[in-house]
Structure 1
Amino acid sequence: MTSKLSIKKKLLIYSFLIQIIILAIFSFSLYKALEISTLDKLQATLKVIILDVTDDLLEKKVITDIILDAEKEYKFEPLFIRILDNNTHEKLIQTSNFPKNIEHSDQYLNNLEQNTVTFEEQNNYLVSRIKIDFHNEKVVILEIVTTKDILTSTLENVLYILSFILPIVLIFSLIGGNFLIYKSFLPIENILSQLKEINAKDLSARLKSNKNKDEINQLVEEVNSLLKRLELSFEKISQFSSDASHELKTPLTIIRGEIEIALRRERSNEEYKSVLSSSLNEIIIIEKTINDLLFLAKNEKDILIDNQEDIYFDEIIDESINEVKSFAKLNQIEMNFILEDTIEYRGYSNLLKIALKNVLKNAIQFSHKNSQIIVKSYKKGNFFEISVQDFGIGIEKNEQIKIFEKFYRTDKSRNKNSGGTGLGMSILKKIVDIHKGKINIQSKENIGTTLTISFPIENNF
């Protein structure tokens, strides 16, 4: 049943039930406490009276000489007195109005200790007894009885008061609980109303923070952080879709055109091979573009699949150079590696090789034929630097910042013919950022370009 109710209604019901239980326990405890307290006071009063009557009795020479008028003396009503013989348990003297329904057990009376006051409850009466030695003549039992009307009246008044007060307390607690729940859930309702205005088309909106350090503000901050991550993810997806459709349109158009031309009439085997070869080259470009786009679209935690490891930069540089040597030879470029320093570094070897190979391929693509590329590694202050110098077409000063943008090419036709996607420098920057490094470019047109990557030696991860 409660599963269909809102949290506010559930809390209101649960708090109301808890308050009923607490009030019931409180009422029962108060009732019993008053009962015990009133009974204790009644017993204390009877004890004082019975001890006083005992003193009066011992002052008499004959038991029957005592005047049983304790009611008037102590102004306590009703009060009934009786004296019993200890041996026969027969009455010796009693007040005229002594209740007839007061009974006693012979065994109970025999077990009474001398000069000790005891109490017994019978029906609506409280009986106090004491066994005394009357001048060494005989042992008697003095009984003083009163009704429990005071106790009953007190408890009835308590029940009346509780029956009047408890409903009022429950009503006010219900109203107060409802108010507290409303005020507590008001910030959450405001958050919900703000969230309803946020949709996938516009994730730039953020929840308003109350600048407090309470749990609601922590929730707002976490939701805003989630929205920020979602916004970045949607932007990456949107950018990926835009970049992919933009960059894949040209090679797909080329492939379609080549195939349509080839199908217009019968072709020789050589012509078919030429069409297939051209299409294959475009497909390779498409594949590389998609792989690079997927790499750039990933979050850092998705890229860092492998664990960090201790590596030596000279090994990473040497392996990267060896992997691009065939490409350099094809472009008639000589590769030279000058090792001045190396360090042990904690990082991601696969990512660093991807970054270095992208730099080297870029340098090869933009170098003049029969020139060289010089790779150096050295320490400079608190950084370990790797520089790649080419002697090629260079980069205009106003274009040096733009080369890290996706699909940006300083020489689009040459880059395209060389199989580039325009994403290598974007990938380079992402990998260097992961390793907390920096990139510096120095270039002059028709002279060459030197790209330097700096990795911090201290605080290495």
Structure 2
Amino acid sequence: MKINLSIKRKLLIYHFFIQTIVLVIFSFSLYKALEISTLDKLEATLKVIILDVTDDLLENEKITQTLLDEEKEYKYEPLYIRILDNKTHQKIIQTENFPSNIEHNDDYLNNLKENIVTFEKQNSYLVSRIKIDFHGEQLVIIEAVTTKDMITSTLENLLYIFGFILPIILIFAVIGGNFVIYKSFLPIENILDELKQINANDLSARLKTRKTKDEICQLINEVNNLLSRLENSFERISQFSSDASHELKTPLTIIKGEMEVTLRKDRSIDEYKEALKTSLDEICLIEQTINDLLFLAKNEKDLIIDKQENFYLDEIADEAINELKNFAKLHKIEVSFVVEDSLELKGFPNLLKIAIKNAIKNAIQFSFENTKVIVKIFKKDDSLNISIQDFGIGIAKNEQTKIFEKFYRTDKSRNKNSGGTGLGMSILKKIVDIHKGDITIKSIENSGTTITFTFYLK
């Protein structure tokens, strides 16, 4: 059965097991180090003793004259010493109570080198040996033996210490680990509590920022950025719904009224055609309004489907003018194109073409008949500019800052004869903003308007 544990519980369990493994490895290493150190100390002591026995032996004329009293001399107990004949491996002399279970291997003894101290472990004893030449008369082997009680008692004491200390260390490690985990997760729990208070009805709330620059601070900043993006998206959706319901209501009402009036009695074919034409015009206006609203509702990333590329602005402007030739002829307007500087610009040509067309179309719509619209491209300082100048109704000074608002129409153009949706200038501004450009407007009522796009080359 799968047990679902919180991350804090999992971390605490992992912490406990890691601490246990670390302590076991540390204890084992310390145990082996102490064992080796104690054995080295014991071997060093035996080496000193056996070399002293060697000196005492060589000072006598006969082996049997040697007093094996190093146990008393060094006050080291237990200590057993004996001297063996190198050929027969029989004892010559030995201390009292020399252990009877100390064995020797003939091959091992035969392979001993002269004046080299060796050590051998036998059962609970440590045996040191040295082969020497006794006055050139014979080779003898000296054995100094002691028990390994010193090693055993030292290691047993260490095990008792481990048995007492390790559980206490683990308890404190778990308590400390739990405290560290609690303090580490406290900011995250605070973030969760704050996030629970945020809902779709109020996305303006933000998490409290911290002065530190740690990972929690980065998380808070990223969550706040996410909330900002969500808020913008919700606002666009809400604005889209509001704008769509507001702007679509009028043409739908007109269509409905036109049909109701037409169906009240039999009409002539021309009357039916006129009703259908009026309805079709309103449907086209609805379609254009929906397309414009969808364009404005998109994020910048959704609009930029292609990579930036280098292009000539005059070529894009020329294409836009050609596509609006019939529209200009219908309004009895002549479009003049002047290129003073032909330079490359980096950006999104398809989007800029939409912006230029919207600006030229507006200029044509609001110009007086039999006048010109002048499109001019020129370089000024470190910027490339395109201006669209018309000779028409102009824009009142107090309305010039409002024309980029959605569905805003100046008083003189509020009627539907223009065929616009009131969204063209909003779309235009959004595209210019994507290119990090600026828009300036100069207008005089009943004289004309000049709108200029500025794109920076550096």
Q: TM-score, normalised by structure 2?
A: 0.96
Structure 1's 79 and 156: CA in aligned 2 closer, same or farther, altered over 3 A?
Answer: same
1:314-372 Cα shifts (integer Å, max 9, x gaps): 22222211211211221222222233333222222211111111111111221222222
Q: Which amino acid aligns with 2:96?
A: S
- Please list, as runs of the form range in 1=range in 2, the aligned pairs for 1:98-137 lying within 5 A after superposition: 98-137=98-137
Change (3 A) 1:388 1:326: same
How far residue 56 of structure 1 moved from its aligned partner, in angstroms, is: 0.8
**Equivalent position amino acid for 1:8 in 2:** K
After TM superposition, the structure 1 = structure 2 runs for residues 357-436 of structure 1, keeping only pairs within 5 Å, are 357-411=357-411, 415-436=415-436
Task: Output the CA distance in 1 between the equivalents of 2:43 and 2:180.
Answer: 48
Percent same amino acid among aligned pairs?
A: 72
Q: Hey, what does 1:17 align to over in structure 2? A: 17
Equivalent-residue separation in structure 1 for 2:134 and 2:312 (angstroms):
114
- 1:156-191 CA-partner distances (Å, limit 9, x unpaired): 011111111111111111111111111111111111
Q: CA deviation at 1:36?
A: 0.5
Q: CA deviation at 1:275?
A: 2.5
Q: Which amino acid aligns with 2:260?
A: E
Which structure 2 residues correspond to residues 334-353 of structure 1 after superposition, within 5 A? 334-353=334-353
**Secondary structure at the residue paired with 1:431?**
helix
Contact 1:365 1:415 survives alignment (8 Å) = no
How far did residue 379 of structure 1 move? 2.2
Q: Which moves more between the two structures, 329-338 or 286-295? A: 329-338
Distance 1:307 1:59 in 2: 102
The amino acid of 2:324's aligned partner reads V
Alpha-carbon deviations, 1:1-36, whole Å to 9, x = none? 786111111111111111111100110000000100
- Amino acid of the residue matched to residue 343 of structure 1? L
- Report how far residue 37 of structure 1 moved: 0.5
Work out the CA distance in 1 between the residues paired with 2:109 and 2:2. 61
The within-5 A match list for 1:151-166 is 151-166=151-166
Change (3 A) 1:449 1:56: same
**AA aligned opposite 2:281:** N
Q: CA deviation at 1:257?
A: 2.1
Find the counterpart in structure 1 of residue 83 from structure 2. Answer: 83
- 1:402-424 alpha-carbon deviations (Å, 9 max, x no partner): 00000000147655222200000
Q: Secondary structure at the match of 2:233?
A: helix
The CA deviation at 1:266 is 4.0
Do residues 251 (structure 1) and 251 (structure 2) align? yes
Deviates more, 1:24-33 or 1:308-317: 308-317
Q: Which amino acid aligns with 1:393?
A: I
1:40 maps to 40
Distance in 2 separating the partners of 1:366 and 1:9 = 72
Give the Cα separation in 1 of the matches to 2:104 and 2:381. Answer: 108
* Rounded Cα–Cα distance in structure 1 between residues aligned with 2:221 and 2:98: 82
**Deviation sequence 1:270-312 (CA, Å, 0-9, x none):** 3333222222111111111111111111111111112222222
- C-alpha distance in 2, partners of 1:58/1:261? 143
Give me the whole-angstrom Cα distance separating, in 1, the residues matched to 2:96 and 2:384: 118
- Deviation for aligned residue 1:94: 1.4
Deviations 1:58-116, CA, capped at 9 Å, x for gaps: 11222222222211111000011111111111111112201111111111111111111
Alpha-carbon offset, residue 242 of structure 1:
0.7
**Take 1:3 and 1:323, find their aligned partners in 2: how far apart are those partners?**
68
Which residue in 1 is equivalent to 2:140? 140
Q: Which residue of 2 aligns with 1:289?
A: 289
Partners of 2:371 and 2:4 in 1: how far apart?
Answer: 78
**Residue aligning to 2:221:** 221
Secondary structure of 1:401's partner? coil
Partner of 2:241: 241
Distance 2:172 2:451 in 1: 76
Partner of 1:272: 272
d(CA) in 2 for partners of 1:103, 1:311: 101
**CA distance in structure 2 between the partners assigned to 1:60 and 1:314 by the alignment:** 121
Q: What are the ranges of 5 or more consecutive residues in structure 2 without an aligned counterpart? A: none
Residues 349/415 of structure 1: CA separation in 2 closer, same or farther (3 Å cut): farther
Deviations 1:174-215 (A, max 9, x none): 111111111111111111111111111111111111121111
What is residue 93 of structure 1 aligned with on the other side?
93
Bigger mean CA offset, 80-89 vs 308-317: 308-317
Secondary structure at the counterpart of residue 141 of structure 2: strand
CA distance in 1, matches of 2:347, 2:133: 104
State the distance in 2 between where 1:286 and 1:138 align.
Answer: 126
1:2–1:10: 8 Å Cα contact kept in structure 2? no
Worse-superposed segment, 412-421 or 373-382: 412-421
Q: What's the RMSD between the two structures over aligned residues?
A: 1.6
* Amino acid across the alignment from 1:121: K
Residues 375 and 389, structure 1, Cα contact 8 Å, conserved in 2: yes
Residue 331 of structure 1: aligned partner: 331
Gaps of 5+ in 1: none
For residues 257 and 73 of structure 1, what CA distance do their matches in structure 2 show?
A: 130
Q: Which amino acid aligns with 1:369?
A: E
User: For residues 291 and 412 of structure 1, what CA distance do their matches in structure 2 show?
Assistant: 25
Partners in 2 of 1:119 and 1:337 — Cα distance?
108
